[in-house]
């Protein structure tokens, strides 16, 4: 074989190899650029529904109600309208007699303690008759007290003590012992019997409430009568 023929053959194979390489590059480019058209290579768009899910729980809290329960001046809930008051505002403060709780009543209603019934028979306005040292002439009241013995033993009424108090401060009313109309209880009160006694006091100020305190003896509970009316 000649040298010229060998060179010519080498050039032919070089062109064939170059053509094959160029064809491979073209195929790769076509596959690469055309791969995006395949259905599986397309990105899938996510569709968001505009309709809210009815089963989903709302995340926002409901606004607090503007209506609140009424409160009193101290900030606590007001008591119901039909709540009973704790005490009569017209009651007069009366000091205790010892540690024993008194038996209380109102007006001329009878009050019983240890078998003895106590009742205010009447309270009338008067002018005191001052005859003793320290007594003065002025507005006064005549208190008629009635006792009824409902027990089985006689009661010695000589030791019965009556006191009067007036106004919101419970001011003691001075007894007018020298007034001749005093007729204090005395002597024995038999079972089933009744007796009355009269006691004279200076009058409370005009418009003041009146209360009476009655002590029958050391073995009896004190009696307090509130809301006593002056006629």
Q: Cβ-count burial of 58 within 10 angstroms (0-12 exposed, 13-18 middle, 19+ buried)?
A: exposed
- Indicate if 221 and 107 belong to the same structural domain: yes
Identify whether the C-beta of residue 167 lies closer than 8 Å to the C-beta of residue 210: no
- Indicate if 108 and 190 belong to the same structural domain: yes
Q: What pLDDT is stored for residue 34 in this prediction?
A: 52
- Indicate if 107 and 28 belong to the same structural domain: no
Domain membership flag for residue 64:
no
Identify whether the C-beta of residue 200 lies closer than 8 Å to the C-beta of residue 141: yes
Identify whether the C-beta of residue 151 lies closer than 8 Å to the C-beta of residue 114: yes
Domain membership flag for residue 218:
yes
- Indicate if 112 and 200 belong to the same structural domain: yes
Residues in the chain where the model's pLDDT stays below 50: 1-8, 10-11, 13-16, 20, 24-28, 30, 36-52, 54-87
Residue 217, domain CATH? 2.60.40.1240
Domain membership flag for residue 86:
no
pTM: 0.61
- Indicate if 139 and 220 belong to the same structural domain: yes
Domain membership flag for residue 133:
yes
- Indicate if 114 and 21 belong to the same structural domain: no
Domain membership flag for residue 20:
yes
In the chain, how many domains are there? 2
Q: Cβ-count burial of 172 within 10 angstroms (0-12 exposed, 13-18 middle, 19+ buried)?
A: middle
- Indicate if 117 and 201 belong to the same structural domain: yes
Domain membership flag for residue 96:
no
Domain membership flag for residue 24:
yes
Q: What pLDDT is stored for residue 21 in this prediction?
A: 56
- Indicate if 32 and 120 belong to the same structural domain: no
Domain membership flag for residue 143:
yes
Q: What pLDDT is stored for residue 103 in this prediction?
A: 95
Q: 13 is in which domain, residue-wise?
A: 3-37
């Amino acid at each position: 074989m000649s040298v010229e023929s060998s060179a010519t053959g080498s050039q032919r194979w070089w062109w064939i190899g170059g053509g094959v390489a160029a064809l491979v590059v073209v195929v790769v480019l076509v596959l690469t650029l055309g791969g995006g058209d395949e259905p599986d290579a397309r990105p899938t768009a996510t569709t968001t529904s505009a309709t809210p899910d009815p089963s989903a729980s709302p995340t926002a809290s409901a606004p607090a109600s503007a209506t609140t329960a009424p409160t009193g001046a101290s900030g606590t809930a007001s008591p119901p309208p039909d709540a009973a008051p704790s005490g009569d505002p017209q009651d007069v403060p009366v000091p205790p007699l010892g540690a024993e709780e008194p038996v209380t009543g109102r007006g001329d209603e009878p009050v019983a303690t240890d078998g003895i019934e106590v009742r205010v028979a009447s309270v009338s306005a008067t002018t005191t008759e001052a005859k003793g040292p320290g007594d003065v002439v002025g507005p006064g009241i005549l208190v008629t007290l009635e006792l009824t013995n409902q027990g089985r033993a006689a009661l010695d009424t000589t030791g019965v003590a009556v006191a009067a108090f007036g106004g919101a401060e419970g001011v003691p009313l001075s007894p007018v012992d020298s007034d001749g109309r005093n007729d204090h209880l005395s002597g024995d009160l038999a079972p089933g019997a009744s007796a009355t006694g009269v006691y004279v006091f200076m009058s409370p100020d005009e418009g003041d409430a009146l209360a009476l305190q009655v002590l029958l003896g050391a073995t009896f509970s004190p009696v307090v009568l509130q809301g006593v009316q002056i006629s």
